[in-house]
Chains A and B, each alone.
Chain A
Amino acid sequence: MLVAGLLLFGPMLTAQNRKISGKVTDDSGTPVPFATITVKSTKQGVAADASGNFSLSAKTGDVLVVSATGFDPIEMKVGTEDDVSIKLGRKATVIDEVIVTAQGIRKRPRELGYSVGKVNTEEITVGRSPQLAQSLSGKVSGLAIYNVDNSVDPQVKVVLRGYRSLTGNNDALVVVDGIPNASQSVLALLNPNDIESVTVLKGGQAATLYGSAGVNGAIVVTTKKGKKGKLKAAFSTAVNFEKLSWLPDFQSEYGNGSHYTAGYGTAGWHADYKQRMAENWRPFENQQYGDPYNGEMRIIGRVLEDGSKQIIPYSALSGEREKAWNTGHTLNNQVSFSGGDDNSTYYLSLENNKSEGVVPHDESSRTSVRLAATKEADKLKAGFNIAYVQANYDRTTSDFYFDAINVASHIPISTYKDWQHNKFANPNGFYDDYYNNPYFNADNNRQKYMDANITGNVELNYQLLPWMNLFNRIGVISNSRTRKNTTGKFIYTDWAKNDAYVPAPWDWANDYDGIDRAGTDILGGVLDRITNENVINNEFQVQMSKDFKEFSNKFILGYSVYQRKTKQTEVSSGSIVQEGVFNVANRQGELGGGESNTTERKFGYYADLTTGWRDILYVHGSFRYDATSRFYKNYRDASLYSYPYYGVDASFVLTDAFPKLQSDIFNYAKIRAGFNKNGNDNIDLYGLDLQFPNGAGFPYGSTVGFTVGDILPDANLKPEFVYSYEVGGEFQFWKNRISLELTAYTQNSKGQVLTVKVPNTTGFPNLRINVGETKNWGYETDLRVQVIKQPKFNWEISARYSYNNNKVEKLFNGVDEFAYGGYSYAQTYVIKGQSYPSMKATAYVRDPVTNRVVVNSASGYPLTAATPKNFGRTIPPHMAGAGTRIRYADFTLAANFEYRGGNVIFHQLGRDMTFTGSGGWTSNRTPHIFPNSAIDDGTNTGKYVVNDKVQVREAEYSLWVDYYRLIAENFVTPGWFIKMRDINLTYNLPGKLIAKTKFISAANVAIYGRNLFTIVDKANMFTDPEFSYTTGNGLGINNTGQTPPVRQYGINLNLTF
């Protein structure tokens, strides 16, 4: 199949018979520019113009063949009409679609010796997510998007083909219009509608040309350029709503109480657990270990200064905790203009996106403008692209999730929103002695921050010789984040501190007068921080392309320069004088703050050659030589900071080499293989030096104190290398309606720059050294099937599966494991010989024979194993995605699903809710034998018998808080889930209807949803297993720092003029 563009210059024959004119559009009625129309069995043909209009001469009975890049060609018999309209369906296969690879080099799939994933605008915008990262989830094999939280500033971690580095960066590089970004946070600043395509370069080979930063693969985002044709304006508006989808499992049988009754074995201890429960009840407790709800009227909290008190039924309210959250909503409006003529194009878009989250008063907004233009003059092509994005966030820094899920179920929590006016909601009168009103905490602790981001580039391309171009692109990123965190001042009344009391008949439950929490006044605080980032990146290339007989050759010589500077300054104060004024001038005590500056520089030379033989065999090799400031010192040998690396790959199109293989069933087969070695300057900035930071708290006035730093760097540190091998094949069947891609890869990372924990007895906690080796391997498969392909009815399905595993091959001598972090009782680890990260958590002691939980034979309480247990890896080895798109007439239904599994997750909120007693799993408070337990057989020889007699001593409190809670195993669950990532039903207004408006050329309306359902393991009573407390390598632990899971649904209107 020929590329349409080539036909542009094909012969244009003069009319023989009669003139037929027409218009080529896509399914939605949008014009398809530059389609090729030929008369079958002749050499006649024309190209449509930019608006899809064409005219040619033909006679009745001729068959017109209409084709265009990215569309399935159709044949159409010429009837008697002189004016025809032709609709093309988008091509399901990508066999000859040009793909943007590293450094913007365009290649056809058959030229590629490695696996790439491509996602087009349509696939990205199915769920109309304002966030690009979320809309890529599940759509490319090998690509893992971890949606680690759900706030109005959602964080993601994007990883390709798993982890290579133990402690260094494993995040995929994000390249926007050729400019590599140092952080994935840029994804939040992109308007998904501005995106022309996203190419996912999965392996190191694909990304060799991005230098070290590409070692983890790259997400190459290309934004829209204008298209030739008259001005096209598009307007889109979307509104979407967001609601909690699920909360942890709650108990609704017991009210406030804690361990107030006499301790076991001490005077006054009651044998009757009901009596103990009744004594444990307190009207001001944050824990929920009181007596069972019985419907009687009881006080909560204490008597207020004005004598008022809250007396409410002691019975659970239904769904009250859920009411604590709002329904969030997002309004997205955007407009874009594009157009161009033979020599120039332009594209301008404006977007405003405004979200209010589920957490009361949390909101964010994004306003962006993007302008792109190209101009061709003679042999020079010039283009520029500039975008400005301003994103504003206003969020609480309090743990609203924690606060809201840990209230007792009879507390009318949703009535406490107005803490300024409602005396029972005000901190001076709020019932809880230990936890403040969730709404007060949320309102009183705020963070407001703004990102202002300018990115731009200028590209020049000059055709020096027919086979040689000079190309240069200079790109800049200027990003500033200004932040203000505030904590309001609140001084409790003397009454709240000392006099609030519990009245009769509950006065037996009065331990003292005053609210315990009121003992600590809130003095307020303010923090002001400015972070600036400036990146400049220049890429110069000599691009050569010349064919010698049967050999096609593309050769690129390049030179890349990169500089990144950051500066962060901050001032803060931990107390403010006059409430409501948040400025460090309004402070008491010393001014806090600091500054941090970084400069990083790199340059690299590279060469890249692709040679093809008869379009059947392609061999591609690349070589790069980098030098990095991260390893530079003027006394160091050049080999320690500069390093070469290279790769080679080949692809072979079997079906073209052996045409006999081809049939209607089996159309296309390509096999490929590649190897590459990638260098990586994976070291913390300024990581070569032993540092002498200020001692904690220093300087004290004019007293200076420094301390010897905690990381001792090895003198011979050098960059690390990753060796990747990849083989794969691409196959198409059934007239190209089924396409299948298979890939297997393995990556070995050697001599990693690792900060290893050495014994503190060396005088240093950590040593930074080249050590450690990991192996990372996996398989990927992508399948696309065009099940039904008819002009009016089209059904495509796609499925993908990837398996990824890794192993720690070597660690520092004597070090078998180290922790990434987490909680002391549940941490993610790197363990030699195991895949990483692995979850190690405190566990039950179990009978090795029956696996029963061993309990103390006197108290009946479960025992905690002395050493934590490894529960397995925390990132999912199995990931599968499925998508479907059905078009019938003017309706299109699309949906995407994702499964991930094979991992475990620790849920801190389970432990929290065991402490407070709000968790549903704590509801067995009556005397009982610990389930599935065993006790020592009396011989103390490590032999056990089934426990059928020893009941837990105090199931109404101690079992849960003092024992069950401390065994982290209880909150480690399988991490698998199935999610409906997005679904969309679009209705394209019929062309006839549109035509009547005269000015609208296309219109559609869509309803859509995201994460409408999630299925998780039944042991997971806690939260979304995708969430994580960190975007670092130590995924696998979540807590209430993330908001609860939500589902979103909305409606969207698109108009094109």
Chain B
Amino acid sequence: MMKTKFIIIILAMGIVGVSCKKTWLDVNTNPNTLTSSNPNFILTAALNQTITNAVDYNEIGSYWAGHWTQSSSYIYSAVTFAYQFTNNNFNWWDPIYNNLGDYQYIINNAEATGQKELKGPAQIMKAYLMQIIVDHYGNAPYSDALKGVSSLAPKFDDQKAIYEDLIKVLDTAIANIKANPFSGALVGSDITTAGTLKGGSSTKWIKFANSLKLRILIRQSRITGRDAYITTEIKKAVQEGTGFLDAGQDMAVNPGFVASDGKMNPFYERWGYNAAGAIKSLARYPRPTKYLFDVLIAANDTFRLKRLAYAKGGENANNPGVSTQAEVVSNYVGTPYGAPSGYTAPSTSYLGPSVIVKGTHNRPLYLMTAAESQFLLAEAVQRYGATLGLPNTAQQYYETGVRESFRLDGVANPVTQANVVLASGIAESDWAASPDKLKAIWFQKWLSLANFNGAEAWAEYRRTNYPNIPASAGAPVGQKPPVRLFYPLSELGSNQANVNAQGTIDVFNTRLFWDVD
């Protein structure tokens, strides 16, 4: 009987699996990552991704708009400051489109999942990001984009046509928000404060959409023959009635940053401190420019000087928000734009308390500031006058913008101090003393964007050629600065025919449609 036993044993072992049914294979459900998600969770992460991505393109914008340069403690970046870049550099395209994929997911799924109130905000964000794409790259996939497998090689749309469609998207978005306003838990003062998603207030989203329309329209204002279109569209925005981002109404995003590496305000985390309070080595990289200091000092605007920068040596780790060295003007050492050597980090000024104060890892980041909105209104009224139907004068908007900039930069008693500058009798500070009102608006807007929105500052610099920022010290003599970016290598590699259809891109000469000179 031994024999039978052995056979039974072996057969039993062999048969362990023979009885397996196909359901035995049913272990292919991902135990680590979700395979579906509600739009509200996607929106929270997408907004955070938007402001995180912005840290990258705002950095380059801050350099090329003359706000910042690099210190000599780091190896000189010829790519950035001698403009020796290729299609392998500055790829904002991929992260932005990836981010757009998230917003598109919300647009496509918000209604089906019973979260239809999120569709409008997602559409606004799509318009917001598409403008940034156009402002860096010109023609881009738009009508054929974000369709997944349905269109694996999206064709490019004309940049002007995209711009025009963005206005329509914003109209739709506003209508959607009005039809499905936020209620209950979704309502908050800012977008996504700590806890579950708060979408902000519906009113504020609509105001943001209107201000964004202004940003899109004013960008085209120097194109000959475009005024009729622009005024028509501005009037529609005014007539919509909700208004624009007013004083105190920055479009802020804060998912509730916490003091943990990878979870802090991404700007702070890159240029400031780590979670345990040690200064980041990259804090030694960006330097406010000498030009920025010179123009502030020339305007006696040391209020904002001391907010935009720390004195040389940087922040006093034991006294957050205050410089190590005495905060006297002589200690504010700006670095000449593009200087290839001679300005080490400890001997020059650091980014200032308007953005970096040790321990304030939980400040929000801004999609758009109230100051920018006010300067857009100022330019609109200055250019097109009262026919727009806006309630205030250009000067009023301008002055509100300057005051808002003081507030944003964290100047103590911002209104009082701003009024000092506004009444200084100095051109481009004091409205009355400014011979060219548009230049005053452009200059003050440029100042208000410093440290906060380099990409917008660079776009506006290309539009206005103002202020007169010096040429990069490290670039070859006579080298023009870039007027756009290359389409990234990644798009060329995977969507070649459509990229090549855009013709040869000369980053120094192929201007965007709104960049007329």
Query: Which A residues form the contact surface with B (CB < 8 A)?
Result: 258-263, 265-266, 378-380, 434, 460, 462, 464, 470-472, 474, 498, 511-514, 516, 519-523, 538, 540, 559-561, 574-575, 588-590, 592, 595-603, 627-634, 638, 641, 686, 688-698, 700-710, 712, 714, 756-765, 767, 813-818, 824-825, 858-859, 864, 866-868, 915, 961-962, 966
**Which chain B residue has the least Cβ–Cβ distance from A287?**
B75
The verdict on A763 contacting B13 (CB below 8 Å), with A574-B274, A596-B32, A708-B105 known, is: no
Q: How far is the CB of B339 from chain A (nearest CB, A)?
A: 7
Q: A761-B97, A824-B88 are in contact. List 8 more A-B contacts (CB 8 A).
A: A470-B11, A538-B14, A574-B276, A632-B26, A705-B41, A759-B494, A761-B93, A762-B148
Q: Quick one: which of B30, B84, B95, B255 contacts A700, CB cutoff 8 A?
A: B255
The verdict on A472 contacting B49 (CB below 8 Å), with A574-B261, A759-B152, A816-B496 known, is: no
Contact A962 B26 (CB under 8 A): no
Question: Hey, what's the 0/1 contact readout for B250-265 against A, CB within 8 Å counting as 1?
Answer: 0000011111111100
How far does the alpha carbon of A409 sit from the alpha carbon of B17 in the complex, in Å?
A: 66
The verdict on A686 contacting B32 (CB below 8 Å), with A561-B20, A705-B45 known, is: yes
How far does the alpha carbon of A859 sit from the alpha carbon of B284 in the complex, in Å?
A: 30
Question: Hey, what's the 0/1 contact readout for B274-309 against A, CB within 8 Å counting as 1?
Answer: 111011110110000000000000000000000000
Specify which chain A residues have a CB less than 8 angstroms from the CB of B259 in the assembled complex.
Answer: 589-590
Specify which chain B residues have a CB less than 8 angstroms from the CB of A538 in the assembled complex.
Answer: 13-14, 16-17
Q: Quick one: which of B3, B100, B194 contacts A379, CB cutoff 8 A?
A: B3
Specify which chain B residues have a CB less than 8 angstroms from the CB of A765 in the assembled complex.
Answer: 94, 98
Q: How far is the CB of B311 from chain A (nearest CB, A)?
A: 13
Specify which chain B residues have a CB less than 8 angstroms from the CB of A816 in the assembled complex.
Answer: 493, 496
**Which chain B residue has the least Cβ–Cβ distance from A915?**
B75
**Which chain B residue has the least Cβ–Cβ distance from A761?**
B141
Q: How far is the CB of A250 from chain B (nearest CB, A)?
A: 20
Q: How far is the CB of A746 from chain B (nearest CB, A)?
A: 29
Contact A708 B101 (CB under 8 A): yes
The verdict on A263 contacting B339 (CB below 8 Å), with A691-B34, A706-B42 known, is: yes
Q: How far is the CB of B231 from chain A (nearest CB, A)?
A: 33
Contact A763 B346 (CB under 8 A): no
How far does the alpha carbon of A469 sit from the alpha carbon of B496 in the complex, in Å?
A: 61
Within 8 A of A (CB), among B1-47: 2-3, 6-7, 9-11, 13-18, 20, 22-37, 41-42, 44-46
Contact A695 B24 (CB under 8 A): no
Specify which chain B residues have a CB less than 8 angstroms from the CB of A379 in the assembled complex.
Answer: 3, 6
Contact B73 A516 (CB under 8 A): yes
Stretch at the interface among B207-215, B408-416, B471-479: B471-479
Specify which chain B residues have a CB less than 8 angstroms from the CB of A522 in the assembled complex.
Answer: 278
The interface residues of chain B, by DSSP majority, are classed as loop
Contact A588 B28 (CB under 8 A): no
The verdict on A460 contacting B33 (CB below 8 Å), with A520-B281, A590-B258, A601-B25 known, is: no
Cβ contacts A to B, 7 pairs, < 8 Å: A260-B342, A514-B346, A519-B284, A589-B276, A696-B262, A763-B147, A858-B476
How far does the alpha carbon of A783 sit from the alpha carbon of B436 in the complex, in Å?
A: 89
The verdict on A708 contacting B32 (CB below 8 Å), with A266-B473, A601-B25, A961-B75 known, is: no
How far does the alpha carbon of A966 sit from the alpha carbon of B78 in the complex, in Å?
A: 10
Contact B13 A962 (CB under 8 A): no
Specify which chain B residues have a CB less than 8 angstroms from the CB of A705 in the assembled complex.
Answer: 41-42, 44-46, 48, 255
The verdict on A695 contacting B45 (CB below 8 Å), with A760-B491, A814-B496 known, is: yes
Query: Which B residues form the contact surface with A (CB < 8 A)?
Result: 2-3, 6-7, 9-11, 13-18, 20, 22-37, 41-42, 44-46, 48-49, 52, 72-73, 75-76, 78, 84, 86-88, 93-95, 97-98, 100-102, 104-105, 140-141, 145-149, 151-154, 192, 194-197, 255-263, 274-276, 278-281, 283-284, 313, 324, 339-342, 344-347, 473-474, 476-477, 490-491, 493-497
Contact A706 B14 (CB under 8 A): no
Q: How far is the CB of B355 from chain A (nearest CB, A)?
A: 19
Specify which chain B residues have a CB less than 8 angstroms from the CB of A574 in the assembled complex.
Answer: 260-261, 274-276
Q: How far is the CB of B77 from chain A (nearest CB, A)?
A: 10
Specify which chain B residues have a CB less than 8 angstroms from the CB of A260 in the assembled complex.
Answer: 72, 341-342
Contact A763 B104 (CB under 8 A): yes
Specify which chain A residues have a CB less than 8 angstroms from the CB of B45 in the assembled complex.
Answer: 694-696, 698, 705-707
How far does the alpha carbon of A177 sit from the alpha carbon of B493 in the complex, in Å?
A: 46
Of listed B36, B149, B154, residue having the most chain A CB within 10 A? B149
The verdict on A707 contacting B49 (CB below 8 Å), with A701-B194, A765-B98 known, is: yes
Specify which chain A residues have a CB less than 8 angstroms from the CB of B260 in the assembled complex.
Answer: 574, 589-590, 592
Q: Quick one: which of B3, B7, B152, B493 contacts A762, CB cutoff 8 A?
A: B152
Contact A519 B279 (CB under 8 A): yes
Contact B342 A692 (CB under 8 A): no
Contact B192 A703 (CB under 8 A): yes
Contact B17 A815 (CB under 8 A): no
Specify which chain A residues have a CB less than 8 angstroms from the CB of B275 in the assembled complex.
Answer: 574-575, 588-590
The verdict on A696 contacting B35 (CB below 8 Å), with A600-B27, A708-B102, A814-B497 known, is: no
Q: Quick one: which of A540, A707, A760 contacts B42, CB cutoff 8 A?
A: A707
How far does the alpha carbon of A379 sit from the alpha carbon of B4 in the complex, in Å?
A: 12
Contact A627 B22 (CB under 8 A): yes
How far does the alpha carbon of A813 sit from the alpha carbon of B497 in the complex, in Å?
A: 11
Nearest 10 interchain pairs by C-beta: A695-B45, A540-B14, A705-B45, A763-B101, A561-B17, A590-B260, A575-B276, A761-B141, A705-B44, A760-B97
Specify which chain B residues have a CB less than 8 angstroms from the CB of A701 in the assembled complex.
Answer: 194-195, 256, 258
**Which chain B residue has the least Cβ–Cβ distance from A380?**
B6
How far does the alpha carbon of A961 sit from the alpha carbon of B262 in the complex, in Å?
A: 32
Specify which chain B residues have a CB less than 8 angstroms from the CB of A824 in the assembled complex.
Answer: 88
Contact B276 A686 (CB under 8 A): no
Q: Quick one: which of A597, A630, A695 contacts B31, CB cutoff 8 A?
A: A597
Q: How far is the CB of B61 from chain A (nearest CB, A)?
A: 20
Contact B48 A695 (CB under 8 A): yes
Q: How far is the CB of B335 from chain A (nearest CB, A)?
A: 13
Contact B48 A697 (CB under 8 A): yes
**Which chain A residue has the least Cβ–Cβ distance from B44?**
A705
The verdict on A818 contacting B493 (CB below 8 Å), with A590-B259, A638-B22 known, is: yes
How far does the alpha carbon of A627 sit from the alpha carbon of B102 in the complex, in Å?
A: 35
Q: How far is the CB of A798 from chain B (nearest CB, A)?
A: 42
Q: Quick one: which of B88, B195, B347 contacts A511, CB cutoff 8 A?
A: B347
Specify which chain A residues have a CB less than 8 angstroms from the CB of B75 in the assembled complex.
Answer: 915, 961
Contact A520 B278 (CB under 8 A): yes
How far does the alpha carbon of A498 sit from the alpha carbon of B140 in the complex, in Å?
A: 50
How far does the alpha carbon of A690 sit from the alpha carbon of B31 in the complex, in Å?
A: 13
How far does the alpha carbon of A498 sit from the alpha carbon of B345 in the complex, in Å?
A: 13
Specify which chain A residues have a CB less than 8 angstroms from the CB of B147 in the assembled complex.
Answer: 762-763
Specify which chain A residues have a CB less than 8 angstroms from the CB of B2 in the assembled complex.
Answer: 378
Contact B153 A814 (CB under 8 A): yes
Specify which chain A residues have a CB less than 8 angstroms from the CB of B23 in the assembled complex.
Answer: 634
How far does the alpha carbon of A707 sit from the alpha carbon of B40 in the complex, in Å?
A: 10
How far does the alpha carbon of A627 sit from the alpha carbon of B17 in the complex, in Å?
A: 12
Contact A460 B13 (CB under 8 A): yes
Q: How far is the CB of A368 from chain B (nearest CB, A)?
A: 28
Specify which chain A residues have a CB less than 8 angstroms from the CB of B78 in the assembled complex.
Answer: 962, 966
**Which chain A residue has the least Cβ–Cβ distance from B77?**
A962
How far does the alpha carbon of A692 sit from the alpha carbon of B30 in the complex, in Å?
A: 11
How far does the alpha carbon of A778 sit from the alpha carbon of B48 in the complex, in Å?
A: 52
Contact A700 B256 (CB under 8 A): yes
Contact A706 B495 (CB under 8 A): no
How far does the alpha carbon of A434 sit from the alpha carbon of B72 in the complex, in Å?
A: 12
Contact A516 B35 (CB under 8 A): no
Specify which chain A residues have a CB less than 8 angstroms from the CB of B104 in the assembled complex.
Answer: 763
Contact A588 B34 (CB under 8 A): no
How far does the alpha carbon of A897 sit from the alpha carbon of B458 in the complex, in Å?
A: 61
Specify which chain A residues have a CB less than 8 angstroms from the CB of B140 in the assembled complex.
Answer: 761
Specify which chain B residues have a CB less than 8 angstroms from the CB of A560 in the assembled complex.
Answer: 17
Specify which chain B residues have a CB less than 8 angstroms from the CB of A516 in the assembled complex.
Answer: 73, 284, 344-346
Specify which chain B residues have a CB less than 8 angstroms from the CB of A707 in the assembled complex.
Answer: 42, 45-46, 49, 102
How far does the alpha carbon of A232 sit from the alpha carbon of B13 in the complex, in Å?
A: 34
Specify which chain A residues have a CB less than 8 angstroms from the CB of B340 in the assembled complex.
Answer: 259, 263
